[in-house]
Amino acid sequence: MAINWFKYSAPTTFYGLAGKLIPWFAISAAVLCIVGLYIGFVVAPADAQQGEFYRIIFIHVPSSILSMFLYLIMAAYAAMGLIFNTRLSSMMASAIAPTGALFAFISLWTGALWGKPMWGAWWVWDARLTSELILLFLYLGFISLHASIDDPRRADRAAALLAIVGSVNVPIIYFSVQWWNTLHQGSTIKFTGTSMHIAMQQAMFTMLVACWLYAITVTLMRVRSIILERERHTKWITELAEVKA
């Protein structure tokens, strides 16, 4: 039997699939979050240099990673929407943007809370911090540009262009600590290995997976709302059980 790979690329079929997947992603996100926080606060030892302060890393690093990855995924969906003219890709891009912005904000905010006791400053204009701030602005720009154009298909195309051009910023964030002198330290997670106590690593990676699952959950929820809103005049929507009720 040949598998139809494109079956779920139509909003009609994806709407139902997303609805079935959401509870699974939501539950596993909640469970992993509890496990991650338990390891992070109870199992993992204090840091030799930073004492207890370093523990904010368990939310800071996952949200920074997510903010960058989500941007690339959003840009990829936006590009797919432009190239193939598929409705669902552009809807996915719009659905990811608020979550990406949230993670970029959390990354900056927890970074400031961490910076004050350790570095002695809430904020410095170093390359890492500034480029992450630009990432937040790109997300906000994507959302507001999309919202400012009435015709959704035209809004998709304009915002897609912004998303694609802005993706140049992501490698700059990642490599900023290597390319320039920054106050922010270098990467702990490297291709050559992670310079971190094993329990700390377990907590951080568990939280990372939890954040991924959370991001997927809310993106699917949001894309379902977008599908309902945009396709509200179609027959299949008016025949949905939850719409009829």
Partner 1 sequence: MKPRQKRFVYIVVALVAVGLAVALVLNALKDNVSLYFTPTQVYNKEAPEGRSFRIGGLVEEGSVKRENDGLTVNFVITDLHKSLPVVYKGILPDLFKEGKGVVAQGKMEADGLMHADEVLAKHDENYMAPEAADALKKAEVANAAAASAPASSPVAE
The site for partner 1 (CB under 8 A) is made up of 45-50, 54, 57, 79, 82-85, 117-121, 124-127, 164-165, 167-168, 172, 179-183, 185-188, 195-197, 200
Minimal distance in Å, beta carbon 220 to partner 1? 26
Of the two residues 19 and 117, which places its CB atom closer to partner 1 in the complex? 117
Our CB check for partner 1 shows the closer of 48 and 241 to be 48
How far apart CA 133 and CA 169 sit, in angstroms, is 10
Closest separation between CB of residue 196 and partner 1, Å? 4
Name the DSSP class of 8: G
Q: Which is nearer to partner 1, 33 or 127 (CB)?
A: 127
Q: Which is nearer to partner 1, 145 or 228 (CB)?
A: 145
Minimum CB separation of residue 89 from partner 1 in Å reads 12
Query: Within a 13 Å sphere around the CA of 13, how many CA atoms are in the beta-carbon half?
Result: 7
- Between the CA atoms of 71, 79, 169 and 174, what dihedral angle is there, to the nearest 10 degrees? 60
Rounded to the nearest 10 degrees, the angle between the axes of helix 127-148 and helix 152-166 is 170
Distance CA 232, CA 155 (A): 18
Closest separation in Å from C-beta 191 to partner 1: 14
